[in-house]
Amino acid sequence: MSGLLGSAPLVTLTGGPGVGKSVLARAVLDEHTARRGGTVVRVACWDGLTEGGLLDALLRAAGLPDAAHRDTARALAHRTAHPCVSKPARGRAAGPADDRRPDSATTAPPTGGAALAALGTYCRQQRATVLLDDCDPVLDECALLVRRLLRAAPGLRIVATARHALGLAEERVVRIAPLPVTLGEGIAGPAVELLATRTGPAAPELLVTVCQALEGSPLAIALAAHQLERMSLPQLAAQVGADGALFYSGPAATVRHTSLYAAHAAGYALCSPTDRRVWARLSVLPGDFDPWLAGCVCTSSDVPAGAVEGALERLRRASVVECVRDAGGVHEDTGAALPPRYRLPRAARDFGRTQLREAGEEAAALRRFRQACAALAAEAQIAWQGPNQQVAMRLVEDEQHNLDAALTRPPQDAEDALSALEIAVSLWFHWAACGFRHEGRAHLDRLLLLSREDTALRARALWLAGYLAAQEQALTTAEELLRQAWTAAVMHADSDGLARIAHVHGVLALYRSDPATAVRCLEEATRHRSRDPWFGPGPAHSGALLAIALAPLDAERARGAARSAWEERHSDGDFWLYSTILYADALTERAHGEPAAALRACRKALVAKKLVGDPLFIAGARNMLAGLRRAVRDGRPVPGCDGDSPWWQRRGPGVRPQSFFSRLRAGP
């Protein structure tokens, strides 16, 4: 901002409420005038300014007479007044100024050139910079007045602060973001330093926790620090993490800065009814989102689908919604154009949620949100069986916050619980193939208790819970869940479900080092022809596991099973299947004395499996790879062919056997 003051006629600081726009503008201008001389003519546009008062206020701030120019100011305001700025009450007694107002739209209003020239002359003589602070209530009037001032006094310098840019060609916009909480590993950022000045010596991790919950907002930090008069810092950290700081209050120069609620309410009052409804309904979205998800949540009888994107853009310009990804990017996996993504900051989200509750719309919005997430999960499931599994993985990654919320928020009724269960079932590949087994089991265990009606969806959920338990080697739990799934599959005449159950029994037999039973179960699964190709591993993956089971028994049958599995594939982009087949090839070659061929196949399997991220097979491939490298290098017999040590465990001298069954969610 300081650099722009010398070159740009108009500099506008924009940002959300409480981010420090006014404080920063005044501090920079004070420093600027201290170094270069001059003065500042400041008008606080939000503090008691009424229709027609902007030019008068500027003249008064400059110490110039304003009575002679009141007509001009009111005519200017009449043309540009914001709908939220109060107008004269009907039926009031007309004053002299009202008598002189033009009677028709065809009568040209006074130009006000004398007043503008006088103000320009004053600013030039005094080397004054005009500061229009908090322009939002009279934004259009500010924009028109600034344009006319710059025409009347070309050398004039104007600084504006607002949540919304003025939209002029001469304008240089400086977006003020919240303060960074950290500047790197172990380095406190400005937000932590600001809080520390108010708390005194304190545990750094508590300061970071509070500032992260407040998202670095200077106003929120100041209000939270004020609460330390009645609670300790650990209590404050726990409270802001759970409930936010929307209703914290404290002393401030203006009423709207006495709390975050008041700050957001002031901006909310300036929004149109449609924008208010969209703001409130967006509050059910916990993370960032695209226009499609926003439309699913916000569209109703009073908000048409076509109005949502326009409302999003207006809320973005008003610094209510943040844009975290601009439109125009390209998907690196498919080359498709990427839509923009938005985010509602914590305080704006909490404020919107209070408005949603007061309107009695929270339950309906939450239901629409969960239904939209069910559609997202179904789309990801279909993409997983398509030509590029990375698309499905990226979709789940992008929508992780929303999917997690849809899975964990308490359902409102049985129908809502089924929607949550549908999400968990559709994400089977995320849990079973990508390695998030423990997380998937936790969701399924909870949701199965809430969805006890015997439905086809519940039958699938029982099978998936058993499959994940088997993969985590919880064998007894897996068998009980598979027993229930078998009963449900028979009741619903679900032949696909019976084949999937046979597949999991094959997995259990492999973990028990019983290849003969594994072969029988997996052969049964491979003979089935799926009616639903989207859900579950399917016959092709059963064939790949059959090749693994046959590897130590019969090399030719194992190679034949692997070839058949690849021929059954849905697409060439099925890396989960491809990596499993390569792993089976490596096992076959290793078991039958071809370590060099096994080494090549194992390397390819590891590369392909890393694209999916399954820790179970990655661990097995790494173990095998280490042994094969030693065997090829030293010319020794290939280790591990006797089957004494489980292939899914890390082993070696001094290493305690440790299973790799589940992948942990990475932190933020």
Tell me the pLDDT tens digit for each residue of 557-588.
999 999 999 998 878 888 889 989 998 998 89
pTM: 0.84
Answer whether residue 647 is part of any domain: no
Q: Which contiguous run of DSSP H or E holds residue 659?
A: strand 658-659
Answer whether residue 27 is part of any domain: yes
**Could you tell me the strand order of the sheet in which 157-162 lies?**
39-44, 128-133, 157-162, 10-14, 171-175
Block residue for tokens 């006797």:
642
In the chain, how long is the greatest CA-to-CA distance? 108
State the total domains in the chain.
3
Answer whether residue 464 is part of any domain: no
Residues 14 and 66 in one domain: yes
Lowest mean pLDDT among 25-34, 362-371, 417-426: 25-34
Question: Tell me: the pLDDT tens digits for 524-541?
Answer: 999 988 888 889 998 999
% pLDDT > 70, the chain: 86
Asked if pLDDT for residue 200 goes beyond 90, the answer is no
Answer whether residue 602 is part of any domain: no
Residues 245 and 343 in one domain: no
Answer whether residue 645 is part of any domain: no
Lowest mean pLDDT among 9-18, 46-55, 223-232: 46-55
Residues 201 and 328 in one domain: no
Among the listed residues 522, 513, 545, 547, the one whose alpha carbon sits nearest the alpha carbon of residue 647: 513
Q: Which contiguous run of DSSP H or E holds residue 373?
A: helix 362-384
Residues 8 and 150 in one domain: yes
Q: Name, in order, each residue with C-beta under 8 angstroms of 376's C-beta and a sequence gap of 6 or more.
A: 293, 395, 399, 402, 403
Residues 202 and 311 in one domain: no
Q: What is the DSSP string of 129-191?
A: EEEEE--GGGHHHHHHHHHHHHHH-TT-EEEEEESS----TTEEEEEPPPPPSBSSTT-B-HH
Q: Name, in order, each residue with C-beta under 8 angstroms of 93's C-beta and a sequence gap of 6 or more.
A: none
Answer whether residue 64 is part of any domain: yes
Q: Which of 210, 237, 260 is the last residue of a domain?
A: 260
Q: Name, in order, each residue with C-beta under 8 angstroms of 595's C-beta and a sequence gap of 6 or more.
A: 589, 628, 631, 632, 638
Question: 3-state DSSP call for residue 646?
Answer: coil
Tell me how long the chain is: 668
For residue 418, which amino acid is it? L
Residues 169 and 213 in one domain: no
Residues 200 and 135 in one domain: no
CA distance 579 to 562: 11
pLDDT of residue 535: 93
Residues 278 and 334 in one domain: yes
What is the domain extent for residue 320? 271-360
Residues 124 and 201 in one domain: no
pLDDT of residue 199: 87
Strand locations in 26-138 (E) = 39-44, 128-133
pLDDT of residue 307: 96
Residues 238 and 329 in one domain: no
Tokens of 589: 């070659």
Q: Which of 335, 360, 385 is the last residue of a domain?
A: 360
Q: Could you tell me the pLDDT band of residue 102, with boundaries at 50, 70 and 90?
A: very low
3-state helix, strand, coil in the chain (%, to 5): 60, 5, 35
pLDDT of residue 189: 92
Asked if pLDDT for residue 73 goes beyond 70, the answer is no
Answer whether residue 43 is part of any domain: yes
> Cβ of 586: how many Cβ atoms within 10 Å?
29
Quick check: 515 and 540 in contact, CB under 8 A?
A: no
Tokens of 331: 């998907």
CA distance 601 to 622: 12
Average pLDDT of the chain to the nearest whole number: 86
Answer whether residue 276 is part of any domain: yes
Residues 79 and 143 in one domain: yes
Q: Could you tell me the pLDDT band of residue 108, with boundaries at 50, 70 and 90?
A: very low
pLDDT of residue 365: 97
CATH of the domain at 115: 3.40.50.300
Residues 317 and 245 in one domain: no
